[in-house]
Structure 1
Amino acid sequence: MLEAREMTGGYGGADILHGVDLTVAPGEIVAIIGPNGAGKSTAMKAIFGLVHLREGSVRFDGQEITNLPPNRIVLRGIGFVPQTENVFPTLTVAENLDMGAFVRRDDFEAQREKVYDLFPILRDRRRQPAGQLSGGQRQMVAMGRALMLEPRLLLLDEPTAGLAPAVVQDMFGSIREVNRELGVSILMVEQNAKHALKMAHRGYVLAAGQNRYEDSGPNLLANREVAEMFLGG
Protein backbone atom coordinates (compact mmCIF):
# COMPACT_ATOMS: atom_id res chain seq x y z
CA MET A 1 0.00 0.00 0.00
CA LEU A 2 2.65 2.54 1.06
CA GLU A 3 6.23 2.34 -0.10
CA ALA A 4 8.68 5.06 0.94
CA ARG A 5 12.23 4.52 -0.25
CA GLU A 6 15.50 6.33 0.46
CA MET A 7 13.74 9.37 1.94
CA THR A 8 16.30 12.14 2.35
CA GLY A 9 15.38 15.66 3.41
CA GLY A 10 14.51 17.95 6.26
CA TYR A 11 13.92 21.57 7.12
CA GLY A 12 15.70 24.39 5.34
CA GLY A 13 19.09 23.23 4.14
CA ALA A 14 19.63 20.57 6.81
CA ASP A 15 18.78 16.92 6.16
CA ILE A 16 17.15 15.09 9.06
CA LEU A 17 16.31 11.96 7.09
CA HIS A 18 19.18 10.07 5.52
CA GLY A 19 17.76 7.36 3.27
CA VAL A 20 14.83 6.16 5.39
CA ASP A 21 12.71 3.26 4.08
CA LEU A 22 9.14 2.58 5.32
CA THR A 23 6.39 0.32 4.00
CA VAL A 24 2.83 -0.43 5.09
CA ALA A 25 0.76 -3.30 3.73
CA PRO A 26 -3.06 -3.29 3.60
CA GLY A 27 -4.54 -3.92 7.04
CA GLU A 28 -1.27 -3.45 8.92
CA ILE A 29 -0.48 -1.47 12.03
CA VAL A 30 3.13 -0.28 11.75
CA ALA A 31 4.94 1.56 14.55
CA ILE A 32 7.95 3.85 14.23
CA ILE A 33 10.00 4.14 17.41
CA GLY A 34 13.39 5.55 18.35
CA PRO A 35 15.06 8.20 20.49
CA ASN A 36 14.21 11.89 20.39
CA GLY A 37 15.63 13.51 17.28
CA ALA A 38 15.71 10.25 15.34
CA GLY A 39 13.56 11.67 12.53
CA LYS A 40 10.39 9.73 13.32
CA SER A 41 7.89 12.58 12.98
CA THR A 42 9.89 14.09 10.11
CA ALA A 43 9.54 10.83 8.18
CA MET A 44 5.79 10.81 8.69
CA LYS A 45 5.46 14.46 7.69
CA ALA A 46 7.52 13.78 4.58
CA ILE A 47 5.09 11.06 3.55
CA PHE A 48 2.22 13.53 3.97
CA GLY A 49 3.95 16.28 2.01
CA LEU A 50 4.70 18.51 5.01
CA VAL A 51 8.48 18.09 4.70
CA HIS A 52 10.23 18.37 1.34
CA LEU A 53 12.25 15.37 0.23
CA ARG A 54 15.47 16.15 -1.58
CA GLU A 55 15.94 12.52 -2.60
CA GLY A 56 13.89 9.34 -2.49
CA SER A 57 10.31 8.51 -3.35
CA VAL A 58 6.92 7.87 -1.76
CA ARG A 59 4.37 5.70 -3.55
CA PHE A 60 0.81 4.92 -2.46
CA ASP A 61 -1.11 2.16 -4.22
CA GLY A 62 1.61 2.19 -6.85
CA GLN A 63 1.23 5.90 -7.63
CA GLU A 64 3.95 8.48 -7.04
CA ILE A 65 3.01 11.01 -4.34
CA THR A 66 6.49 12.33 -3.50
CA ASN A 67 6.34 15.98 -2.41
CA LEU A 68 2.68 16.37 -3.35
CA PRO A 69 0.93 18.96 -1.17
CA PRO A 70 -1.17 17.55 1.69
CA ASN A 71 -4.47 18.69 0.15
CA ARG A 72 -3.79 16.36 -2.78
CA ILE A 73 -2.41 13.51 -0.70
CA VAL A 74 -5.51 13.40 1.51
CA LEU A 75 -7.63 12.88 -1.60
CA ARG A 76 -5.57 9.78 -2.43
CA GLY A 77 -6.81 8.10 0.77
CA ILE A 78 -4.26 9.09 3.43
CA GLY A 79 -5.28 10.83 6.65
CA PHE A 80 -2.93 12.54 9.10
CA VAL A 81 -3.39 13.32 12.79
CA PRO A 82 -0.68 15.69 14.10
CA GLN A 83 0.57 15.55 17.65
CA THR A 84 -0.47 19.07 18.69
CA GLU A 85 -3.03 21.67 17.64
CA ASN A 86 -5.10 18.92 16.08
CA VAL A 87 -8.61 20.22 16.88
CA PHE A 88 -10.50 23.46 16.33
CA PRO A 89 -11.03 24.37 20.00
CA THR A 90 -13.89 26.85 19.52
CA LEU A 91 -15.90 24.52 17.27
CA THR A 92 -18.11 21.80 18.69
CA VAL A 93 -17.21 18.13 18.36
CA ALA A 94 -19.78 17.74 15.57
CA GLU A 95 -18.42 20.79 13.75
CA ASN A 96 -14.88 19.43 14.02
CA LEU A 97 -15.99 16.17 12.43
CA ASP A 98 -17.80 18.01 9.67
CA MET A 99 -14.62 19.97 8.95
CA GLY A 100 -12.96 16.64 8.24
CA ALA A 101 -15.42 16.07 5.42
CA PHE A 102 -14.77 19.48 3.84
CA VAL A 103 -14.12 18.08 0.33
CA ARG A 104 -16.98 15.58 0.30
CA ARG A 105 -19.97 16.37 -1.86
CA ASP A 106 -21.96 13.29 -0.87
CA ASP A 107 -23.92 12.49 2.28
CA PHE A 108 -21.36 11.71 5.00
CA GLU A 109 -23.77 11.21 7.89
CA ALA A 110 -23.20 7.43 7.84
CA GLN A 111 -19.46 7.96 8.26
CA ARG A 112 -20.07 10.36 11.13
CA GLU A 113 -22.14 7.67 12.83
CA LYS A 114 -19.29 5.19 12.39
CA VAL A 115 -17.01 7.66 14.15
CA TYR A 116 -19.52 8.04 16.98
CA ASP A 117 -19.77 4.25 17.24
CA LEU A 118 -15.99 4.04 17.58
CA PHE A 119 -15.86 6.89 20.10
CA PRO A 120 -19.22 6.91 21.96
CA ILE A 121 -18.12 9.74 24.24
CA LEU A 122 -17.98 12.01 21.20
CA ARG A 123 -21.65 11.40 20.51
CA ASP A 124 -22.43 12.44 24.07
CA ARG A 125 -20.22 15.54 23.73
CA ARG A 126 -21.08 16.40 20.13
CA ARG A 127 -22.44 19.87 21.02
CA GLN A 128 -19.55 20.73 23.32
CA PRO A 129 -16.60 22.88 22.14
CA ALA A 130 -13.60 20.65 21.49
CA GLY A 131 -11.40 22.97 23.56
CA GLN A 132 -13.31 21.96 26.70
CA LEU A 133 -12.56 18.25 26.30
CA SER A 134 -9.87 16.22 28.03
CA GLY A 135 -6.65 15.44 26.17
CA GLY A 136 -7.79 11.92 25.33
CA GLN A 137 -11.15 13.13 24.08
CA ARG A 138 -9.50 15.79 21.90
CA GLN A 139 -7.32 13.07 20.41
CA MET A 140 -10.46 11.10 19.60
CA VAL A 141 -11.91 14.16 17.88
CA ALA A 142 -8.74 14.55 15.82
CA MET A 143 -8.78 10.90 14.78
CA GLY A 144 -12.49 11.04 14.06
CA ARG A 145 -12.08 14.11 11.88
CA ALA A 146 -9.35 12.37 9.86
CA LEU A 147 -11.63 9.35 9.42
CA MET A 148 -14.43 11.44 7.91
CA LEU A 149 -12.82 11.15 4.46
CA GLU A 150 -12.71 7.35 4.85
CA PRO A 151 -8.93 7.04 4.43
CA ARG A 152 -7.31 3.70 3.75
CA LEU A 153 -4.15 4.72 5.60
CA LEU A 154 -4.04 6.81 8.77
CA LEU A 155 -0.84 8.50 9.92
CA LEU A 156 -0.71 9.12 13.68
CA ASP A 157 2.01 11.33 15.16
CA GLU A 158 2.45 10.55 18.87
CA PRO A 159 -1.23 9.71 19.52
CA THR A 160 -0.68 9.18 23.28
CA ALA A 161 1.62 12.17 23.92
CA GLY A 162 0.62 14.10 27.01
CA LEU A 163 -2.17 11.70 27.98
CA ALA A 164 -2.62 10.43 31.50
CA PRO A 165 -1.37 6.84 31.96
CA ALA A 166 -4.89 5.60 32.56
CA VAL A 167 -5.97 7.02 29.19
CA VAL A 168 -3.06 5.63 27.16
CA GLN A 169 -4.44 2.08 27.05
CA ASP A 170 -7.84 3.39 25.97
CA MET A 171 -6.21 5.28 23.11
CA PHE A 172 -4.33 2.21 21.94
CA GLY A 173 -7.62 0.32 22.12
CA SER A 174 -9.24 2.94 19.92
CA ILE A 175 -6.44 2.61 17.38
CA ARG A 176 -6.99 -1.16 17.28
CA GLU A 177 -10.69 -0.60 16.70
CA VAL A 178 -10.03 1.78 13.80
CA ASN A 179 -7.82 -0.89 12.26
CA ARG A 180 -10.14 -3.84 12.88
CA GLU A 181 -13.59 -2.34 12.47
CA LEU A 182 -12.90 0.07 9.62
CA GLY A 183 -10.06 -1.84 7.96
CA VAL A 184 -7.82 1.24 8.03
CA SER A 185 -4.07 0.66 7.89
CA ILE A 186 -2.10 2.56 10.55
CA LEU A 187 1.38 4.08 10.51
CA MET A 188 2.16 5.69 13.84
CA VAL A 189 5.05 7.40 15.57
CA GLU A 190 4.95 6.59 19.26
CA GLN A 191 7.11 7.25 22.32
CA ASN A 192 5.31 4.54 24.32
CA ALA A 193 7.43 2.06 22.41
CA LYS A 194 6.58 -1.12 24.33
CA HIS A 195 2.84 -0.53 24.08
CA ALA A 196 3.13 0.33 20.40
CA LEU A 197 5.15 -2.77 19.52
CA LYS A 198 2.76 -5.03 21.44
CA MET A 199 -0.03 -3.78 19.19
CA ALA A 200 1.87 -3.40 15.90
CA HIS A 201 2.19 -6.03 13.23
CA ARG A 202 5.58 -4.58 12.31
CA GLY A 203 7.88 -1.91 13.63
CA TYR A 204 10.76 0.29 12.58
CA VAL A 205 13.47 1.66 14.84
CA LEU A 206 15.01 4.89 13.57
CA ALA A 207 18.19 6.47 14.90
CA ALA A 208 19.94 9.59 13.61
CA GLY A 209 17.62 9.76 10.61
CA GLN A 210 18.33 6.24 9.42
CA ASN A 211 16.76 2.79 9.65
CA ARG A 212 18.30 0.84 12.54
CA TYR A 213 15.95 -2.16 12.86
CA GLU A 214 12.88 -3.51 11.10
CA ASP A 215 10.95 -6.56 12.26
CA SER A 216 7.63 -7.78 13.58
CA GLY A 217 6.41 -6.15 16.76
CA PRO A 218 6.99 -9.28 18.90
CA ASN A 219 10.48 -9.81 17.46
CA LEU A 220 11.52 -6.24 18.20
CA LEU A 221 10.24 -6.60 21.75
CA ALA A 222 12.30 -9.77 22.13
CA ASN A 223 15.45 -8.22 20.62
CA ARG A 224 17.85 -7.64 23.54
CA GLU A 225 19.75 -4.81 21.83
CA VAL A 226 16.53 -3.00 20.92
CA ALA A 227 15.29 -3.43 24.49
CA GLU A 228 18.49 -2.12 26.03
CA MET A 229 18.93 0.82 23.66
CA PHE A 230 15.36 1.93 22.94
CA LEU A 231 12.92 0.28 25.36
CA GLY A 232 14.58 1.06 28.68
CA GLY A 233 15.93 -2.45 29.15
Structure 2
Amino acid sequence: MSLLTVDGLYAGYGDVDILKGVDVRVEPGEIVVLIGPNGAGKSTVMKAIFGLIRVSGGRIAYRDRDITGLRPDQVVRSGICYVPQEKNVFPTLTVEENLEMGAFIRNDDYSAELQRVYELFPALYEKRRQPAGALSGGQRQMVAMGRALMLDPGLVLMDEPTAGLAPAIVDLIFENIRKINDLGVSILMVEQNAKQALRMSHRGYVLTTGRNRHTDSSANLLADREVAEMFLGG
Protein backbone atom coordinates (compact mmCIF):
# COMPACT_ATOMS: atom_id res chain seq x y z
CA MET A 1 0.00 0.00 0.00
CA SER A 2 1.40 3.39 -1.02
CA LEU A 3 1.67 6.04 1.68
CA LEU A 4 0.28 8.72 -0.64
CA THR A 5 -1.69 8.09 -3.83
CA VAL A 6 -2.75 10.86 -6.20
CA ASP A 7 -4.85 9.55 -9.10
CA GLY A 8 -6.04 11.59 -12.08
CA LEU A 9 -5.88 14.89 -10.20
CA TYR A 10 -7.61 17.93 -11.66
CA ALA A 11 -7.19 21.09 -9.60
CA GLY A 12 -6.65 24.81 -9.97
CA TYR A 13 -7.77 28.31 -9.14
CA GLY A 14 -11.20 29.76 -9.81
CA ASP A 15 -12.68 27.99 -12.80
CA VAL A 16 -9.30 27.14 -14.35
CA ASP A 17 -7.74 23.70 -13.88
CA ILE A 18 -3.94 23.89 -13.76
CA LEU A 19 -3.61 20.14 -13.18
CA LYS A 20 -5.07 17.89 -15.84
CA GLY A 21 -4.97 14.30 -14.63
CA VAL A 22 -1.76 14.17 -12.59
CA ASP A 23 -0.72 10.91 -10.91
CA VAL A 24 1.78 10.75 -8.02
CA ARG A 25 2.82 8.03 -5.58
CA VAL A 26 4.92 8.21 -2.43
CA GLU A 27 5.91 4.94 -0.77
CA PRO A 28 6.79 4.65 2.94
CA GLY A 29 10.30 5.96 3.60
CA GLU A 30 10.73 7.60 0.19
CA ILE A 31 11.89 11.01 -0.94
CA VAL A 32 9.99 11.85 -4.14
CA VAL A 33 10.68 15.00 -6.15
CA LEU A 34 8.48 16.89 -8.60
CA ILE A 35 10.40 18.75 -11.29
CA GLY A 36 9.52 20.60 -14.48
CA PRO A 37 9.42 24.10 -15.98
CA ASN A 38 7.76 27.08 -14.32
CA GLY A 39 4.00 26.87 -14.65
CA ALA A 40 3.99 23.07 -14.92
CA GLY A 41 1.77 22.73 -11.84
CA LYS A 42 4.29 21.39 -9.34
CA SER A 43 3.33 23.65 -6.43
CA THR A 44 -0.32 23.26 -7.39
CA VAL A 45 -0.02 19.53 -6.68
CA MET A 46 1.25 20.28 -3.17
CA LYS A 47 -1.51 22.81 -2.48
CA ALA A 48 -4.17 20.42 -3.75
CA ILE A 49 -2.94 17.61 -1.50
CA PHE A 50 -2.91 19.95 1.50
CA GLY A 51 -6.41 21.26 0.83
CA LEU A 52 -5.41 24.81 -0.06
CA ILE A 53 -7.05 24.92 -3.49
CA ARG A 54 -10.06 23.51 -5.29
CA VAL A 55 -9.92 19.91 -6.51
CA SER A 56 -12.33 19.30 -9.39
CA GLY A 57 -11.47 15.70 -10.22
CA GLY A 58 -9.42 12.68 -9.24
CA ARG A 59 -8.59 11.20 -5.85
CA ILE A 60 -6.02 11.84 -3.12
CA ALA A 61 -5.48 9.09 -0.55
CA TYR A 62 -3.15 8.93 2.45
CA ARG A 63 -2.59 5.56 4.11
CA ASP A 64 -5.46 4.29 1.94
CA ARG A 65 -7.86 6.93 3.36
CA ASP A 66 -9.53 9.33 0.93
CA ILE A 67 -8.47 12.88 1.87
CA THR A 68 -9.64 14.58 -1.33
CA GLY A 69 -11.01 18.03 -0.56
CA LEU A 70 -10.28 17.98 3.17
CA ARG A 71 -9.41 21.27 4.90
CA PRO A 72 -5.74 21.84 5.76
CA ASP A 73 -6.35 21.28 9.49
CA GLN A 74 -7.95 17.93 8.67
CA VAL A 75 -5.04 17.00 6.41
CA VAL A 76 -2.61 17.84 9.23
CA ARG A 77 -4.52 15.62 11.64
CA SER A 78 -4.23 12.76 9.17
CA GLY A 79 -0.42 12.93 9.41
CA ILE A 80 0.70 15.26 6.59
CA CYS A 81 2.56 18.54 7.17
CA TYR A 82 3.38 21.25 4.62
CA VAL A 83 6.40 23.55 4.40
CA PRO A 84 5.51 26.38 1.98
CA GLN A 85 8.09 28.24 -0.07
CA GLU A 86 7.30 31.72 1.25
CA LYS A 87 6.01 33.23 4.49
CA ASN A 88 6.82 30.00 6.28
CA VAL A 89 7.64 31.44 9.72
CA PHE A 90 5.93 33.77 12.18
CA PRO A 91 8.54 36.57 12.12
CA THR A 92 7.64 38.26 15.40
CA LEU A 93 7.58 35.01 17.41
CA THR A 94 10.76 33.46 18.75
CA VAL A 95 12.24 30.37 17.16
CA GLU A 96 10.92 28.22 20.00
CA GLU A 97 7.46 29.77 19.81
CA ASN A 98 7.43 29.01 16.08
CA LEU A 99 8.27 25.39 16.78
CA GLU A 100 5.61 25.17 19.48
CA MET A 101 3.06 26.47 16.98
CA GLY A 102 3.72 23.30 15.03
CA ALA A 103 2.25 21.30 17.91
CA PHE A 104 -0.94 23.35 18.08
CA ILE A 105 -3.27 20.35 17.71
CA ARG A 106 -1.46 18.24 20.31
CA ASN A 107 -2.70 17.86 23.87
CA ASP A 108 0.16 15.66 25.02
CA ASP A 109 3.80 16.28 25.97
CA TYR A 110 5.75 17.25 22.85
CA SER A 111 9.09 17.89 24.59
CA ALA A 112 10.64 14.85 22.89
CA GLU A 113 9.81 16.25 19.45
CA LEU A 114 11.19 19.67 20.42
CA GLN A 115 14.42 18.04 21.59
CA ARG A 116 14.61 16.06 18.34
CA VAL A 117 14.28 19.26 16.30
CA TYR A 118 17.07 20.93 18.27
CA GLU A 119 19.29 17.88 17.79
CA LEU A 120 18.57 17.97 14.04
CA PHE A 121 19.12 21.75 13.81
CA PRO A 122 21.63 22.78 16.52
CA ALA A 123 21.69 26.36 15.22
CA LEU A 124 18.03 26.73 16.16
CA TYR A 125 18.73 25.82 19.77
CA GLU A 126 21.33 28.57 19.96
CA LYS A 127 18.82 31.07 18.57
CA ARG A 128 15.68 29.71 20.23
CA ARG A 129 14.97 33.00 22.06
CA GLN A 130 15.44 35.19 18.99
CA PRO A 131 12.60 36.35 16.70
CA ALA A 132 12.38 34.10 13.66
CA GLY A 133 12.21 37.18 11.42
CA ALA A 134 15.79 38.05 12.41
CA LEU A 135 17.20 34.77 11.09
CA SER A 136 18.91 34.14 7.77
CA GLY A 137 16.93 32.58 4.93
CA GLY A 138 18.47 29.17 5.54
CA GLN A 139 17.74 29.32 9.26
CA ARG A 140 14.12 30.32 8.61
CA GLN A 141 13.80 27.28 6.34
CA MET A 142 15.10 25.12 9.20
CA VAL A 143 12.48 26.63 11.52
CA ALA A 144 9.75 25.80 8.99
CA MET A 145 11.00 22.22 8.65
CA GLY A 146 11.34 21.84 12.39
CA ARG A 147 7.83 23.13 12.98
CA ALA A 148 6.48 20.49 10.59
CA LEU A 149 8.27 17.77 12.57
CA MET A 150 6.59 18.79 15.84
CA LEU A 151 3.52 16.74 14.87
CA ASP A 152 5.61 13.62 14.20
CA PRO A 153 4.16 13.39 10.65
CA GLY A 154 4.37 10.44 8.28
CA LEU A 155 4.71 12.71 5.24
CA VAL A 156 6.09 16.22 4.79
CA LEU A 157 5.34 18.29 1.68
CA MET A 158 8.18 20.71 0.88
CA ASP A 159 7.66 23.42 -1.73
CA GLU A 160 10.97 24.78 -3.12
CA PRO A 161 12.93 24.39 0.15
CA THR A 162 16.13 25.87 -1.33
CA ALA A 163 14.62 28.79 -3.27
CA GLY A 164 16.71 31.94 -3.03
CA LEU A 165 19.44 30.39 -0.89
CA ALA A 166 23.20 30.56 -1.45
CA PRO A 167 24.81 27.36 -2.84
CA ALA A 168 26.48 26.45 0.46
CA ILE A 169 23.15 26.79 2.27
CA VAL A 170 21.43 24.75 -0.43
CA ASP A 171 23.78 21.87 0.36
CA LEU A 172 22.97 22.19 4.07
CA ILE A 173 19.21 22.18 3.44
CA PHE A 174 19.51 19.04 1.30
CA GLU A 175 21.57 17.41 4.03
CA ASN A 176 18.85 18.28 6.55
CA ILE A 177 16.16 16.85 4.27
CA ARG A 178 18.11 13.60 4.12
CA LYS A 179 18.36 13.55 7.92
CA ILE A 180 14.60 14.07 8.22
CA ASN A 181 14.07 11.16 5.85
CA ASP A 182 16.45 9.04 7.94
CA LEU A 183 14.05 9.56 10.86
CA GLY A 184 11.46 7.59 8.87
CA VAL A 185 9.57 10.58 7.49
CA SER A 186 8.56 10.39 3.83
CA ILE A 187 8.99 13.55 1.76
CA LEU A 188 7.31 14.88 -1.37
CA MET A 189 9.29 17.85 -2.63
CA VAL A 190 9.08 20.47 -5.37
CA GLU A 191 12.57 21.70 -6.14
CA GLN A 192 14.18 24.08 -8.62
CA ASN A 193 17.62 22.49 -8.15
CA ALA A 194 16.34 19.49 -10.05
CA LYS A 195 19.57 17.60 -10.64
CA GLN A 196 20.70 17.88 -7.02
CA ALA A 197 17.23 16.94 -5.78
CA LEU A 198 17.13 13.82 -7.97
CA ARG A 199 20.53 12.75 -6.70
CA MET A 200 19.24 12.55 -3.14
CA SER A 201 15.73 11.24 -3.84
CA HIS A 202 14.33 7.81 -4.65
CA ARG A 203 11.94 8.64 -7.48
CA GLY A 204 10.93 11.63 -9.56
CA TYR A 205 8.05 12.99 -11.59
CA VAL A 206 8.52 15.44 -14.44
CA LEU A 207 5.45 17.61 -15.01
CA THR A 208 4.69 19.81 -18.00
CA THR A 209 1.54 21.90 -18.55
CA GLY A 210 -0.27 20.20 -15.68
CA ARG A 211 0.38 16.65 -16.85
CA ASN A 212 2.82 13.81 -16.16
CA ARG A 213 5.66 13.82 -18.72
CA HIS A 214 8.14 11.36 -17.18
CA THR A 215 7.96 9.07 -14.15
CA ASP A 216 10.87 6.88 -13.08
CA SER A 217 13.51 6.19 -10.47
CA SER A 218 15.75 9.18 -9.85
CA ALA A 219 18.73 7.28 -11.24
CA ASN A 220 16.92 6.57 -14.51
CA LEU A 221 15.70 10.15 -14.85
CA LEU A 222 19.25 11.43 -14.34
CA ALA A 223 20.47 9.05 -17.04
CA ASP A 224 17.68 9.92 -19.52
CA ARG A 225 19.13 12.15 -22.25
CA GLU A 226 15.80 13.85 -23.06
CA VAL A 227 15.13 14.63 -19.40
CA ALA A 228 18.67 15.91 -18.94
CA GLU A 229 18.54 18.19 -21.98
CA MET A 230 15.03 19.54 -21.40
CA PHE A 231 14.77 19.75 -17.61
CA LEU A 232 18.19 19.37 -16.00
CA GLY A 233 20.29 21.82 -17.98
CA GLY A 234 22.01 19.21 -20.14
- Do they superpose with TM above 0.5? yes
Q: Which residue of 1 aligns with 2:9?
A: 7
Aligned to 2:214, the other structure's residue is in SS state: strand
Q: Which residue of 2 aligns with 1:34?
A: 36
Q: Which residue of 2 aligns with 1:222?
A: 223
* Alignment equivalent of 2:59, drawn from 57, 60, 64: 57
* Alignment equivalent of 2:114, drawn from 100, 103, 112: 112
Q: Which residue of 1 aligns with 2:181?
A: 179
Q: Quote how far apart the aligned CAs of 1:165 are.
A: 1.0
Q: Give distance in 2, aligned partners of 1:94 and 1:40.
A: 31
Q: Which residue of 1 aligns with 2:164?
A: 162
Q: Give distance in 2, aligned partners of 1:44 and 1:94.
A: 26
Q: Give distance in 2, aligned partners of 1:51 and 1:227.
A: 31
1:86-97 to 2 correspondences below 5 Å: 86-97=88-99
Aligned to 1:101, the other structure's residue is in SS state: coil
Query: Structure 2 length as normaliser, TM-score?
Result: 0.99
Q: Which residue of 1 aligns with 2:211?
A: 210
Kindly provide the amino acid, as one letter, of the partner of residue 62 in structure 2.
Answer: F
1:149-188 Cα distance to aligned partner (Å, 9 max, x none)? 00000000000001111100000000000000x2000000
Q: Which residue of 1 aligns with 2:201?
A: 200
Query: Structure 1 length as normaliser, TM-score?
Result: 0.99
Q: Quote how far apart the aligned CAs of 1:222 are.
A: 0.5
Q: Quote how far apart the aligned CAs of 1:9 are.
A: 1.6
CA RMSD of aligned residues (A): 0.5
Q: Give distance in 2, aligned partners of 1:17 and 1:147.
A: 28
Kindly provide the amino acid, as one letter, of the partner of residue 149 in structure 2.
Answer: L
Structure 1 unaligned regions, length at least 5: none
Moved over 4 A (4+): none
Kindly provide the amino acid, as one letter, of the partner of residue 30 in structure 2.
Answer: E
Kindly provide the amino acid, as one letter, of the partner of residue 83 in structure 1.
Answer: Q
Q: What count of residue pairs does the alignment treat as equivalent?
A: 232
Q: Which residue of 2 aligns with 1:98?
A: 100
Q: Quote how far apart the aligned CAs of 1:108 are.
A: 0.4
Q: Give distance in 1, aligned partners of 2:146 and 2:61.
A: 25
Q: Give distance in 2, aligned partners of 1:103 and 1:42.
A: 25
Kindly provide the amino acid, as one letter, of the partner of residue 86 in structure 1.
Answer: N
Kindly provide the amino acid, as one letter, of the partner of residue 103 in structure 1.
Answer: I
Q: Give distance in 2, aligned partners of 1:158 and 1:7.
A: 21
Q: Give distance in 2, aligned partners of 1:9 and 1:116.
A: 37
Q: Quote how far apart the aligned CAs of 1:52 are.
A: 1.2
Matched, 1:81 2:86: no
Q: Give distance in 2, aligned partners of 1:15 and 1:170.
A: 36
Structure 2 unaligned regions, length at least 5: none
Q: Which residue of 2 aligns with 1:128?
A: 130
Identity of aligned residues (%): 65
Kindly provide the amino acid, as one letter, of the partner of residue 199 in structure 2.
Answer: K
